[in-house]
Structure 1
Amino acid sequence: MTDLQTNPAPSAFTLTSGRARGYHPAAVDAFLSAAKASFERDDDALSAEDVRVASFPMVRGGYAVAEVDAALGRIEDAFAARIRDRAVRAEGATAWVEQARGEAQVILDHLARPKMHKFARVGWLTYGYRAEEVDHVARRIVRYLRDGDELSVEQLRSAAFRMQRGGYREEQVDALLDATIEVMLAVR
């Protein structure tokens, strides 16, 4: 997809009811408006990464989180496709694939570390991502990159980990997931 026109208008999002919380409508609307304007101007005011890391306050009566997250995923895909198309036009498809292959190898090298030691740990009094759950996702990433097993961008975007004392550092895990998503979007 390379057109933001197919994304739902902000008013198309369901509002949560009762005590349920959702994304703050004005914050979501402002971000989506800025993303649409940037995409239509074909400038670099926003990137796929900016869309991926966007966050919004939670409020009662806000937009349904799953619906907004799905829309953000489509918008991120559109920005990534635009970058890919630009690079292929400028450098050629072979150079683009080689760059993606190199980035995939960096990820594979990182994930070759021993089980339960793939990322730095937080201190024992601090909570981090549950290591065995992260290692499970890491194995799926390796099988995708090395063997071509199925794994979708949406599965990585929605990956959630329980917390544990002495777990993996969230920032490192999130950075690797982001890098993997970028590789996946590069070769779509």
Structure 2
Amino acid sequence: MDSKRQIPAAFERVPRSEYGYNARQVDEFLQRARVSLETPAAAARPIKSLDVRAVSFDPVKGGYSATTVDAALDRLEDAFARRERDELIAEQGEEAWLRQIGQLSATLRGRLHRPDGERFRRPAKKKTRSYNTRDVDRLCADLIGYLEEDKPLSVDNVRRAVFRPAVGQDGYEETQVDAFLDRVVELMAAID
């Protein structure tokens, strides 16, 4: 075997002039995730669905395509969420799982039922980037429909939600909205 022969990339790469995810970081994370998923007892630091949702990679020219990596991470997060649900049910019973889901759902609904324009904090600084309140409130209305009226909504719709930018008090604080949506994804991944 030729020692200079390259192993094919796990994901498609962007052109060398464009930025993508650092391939080494992606490969290392996915290897750790594979071990955690397939043989959890062998994992030095077990990975959970929250870790998959929170992972980030440095941008590099010619790196992996963010779109394809993100899609793979979404599937991986779903797999971890299913396993976490199954483990909880096996250890503590379905009632414990339903209680956990109910508590998270109640917390999220409390914020969802706030009036439009008042669901999240406004940035304290005038020039701080924020999210357009109407866009966020529209997604919140969709979430109420999903949680309370059985209207269809994909977890990927929440993961891929894009909001128009606002500045300062004209929008919702980005970090608070993002943290809330992380919990929504956690709930939806556990339910679906």
What TM-score do you get using the length of structure 2 for normalisation? 0.87
Q: Deviations over 1:47-93 (max 9, x none)?
A: 10110011111122111111000110111111111110111111212
**SS in structure 2 opposite 1:11?**
coil
**Residues 92-101 or 22-31, more deviating:** 92-101
2:4 alignment partner in structure 1: none
Which structure has the greater CA radius of gyration? Answer: 2
Structure 1: give runs of 5+ residues left out of the alignment.
Answer: 1-8
Structure 2: give runs of 5+ residues left out of the alignment.
Answer: 1-6
- CA-CA distance at 1:182 after TM superposition: 1.1
Looking at structure 1, the residues matched to 130 and 23 of structure 2 have their Cα atoms a distance apart, in angstroms, of 30
Indicate if the aligned counterparts of 1:97 and 1:187 stay in contact, CA closer than 8 A: no
1:179 and 2:183 aligned: yes
Indicate if the aligned counterparts of 2:129 and 2:174 stay in contact, CA closer than 8 A: no
% identical equivalent positions: 39
1:23 to 21, 24, 45: 21
Q: How does 1:37-186 map to 2 (within 5 A)?
A: 37-43=35-41, 45-122=46-123, 123-166=125-168, 167-186=171-190
Matched pairs, number: 180
What TM-score do you get using the length of structure 1 for normalisation? 0.89
1:32 alignment partner in structure 2: 30
Indicate if the aligned counterparts of 1:10 and 1:29 stay in contact, CA closer than 8 A: no
Looking at structure 1, the residues matched to 131 and 60 of structure 2 have their Cα atoms a distance apart, in angstroms, of 26
- CA-CA distance at 1:10 after TM superposition: 8.1
Looking at structure 1, the residues matched to 141 and 37 of structure 2 have their Cα atoms a distance apart, in angstroms, of 35
| Closer/same/farther in 2, CA of residues 157 and 10 from structure 1, 3 Å limit | farther
Looking at structure 1, the residues matched to 63 and 89 of structure 2 have their Cα atoms a distance apart, in angstroms, of 40
What is the root-mean-square deviation of aligned Cα atoms in Å? 1.7
- CA-CA distance at 1:181 after TM superposition: 1.1
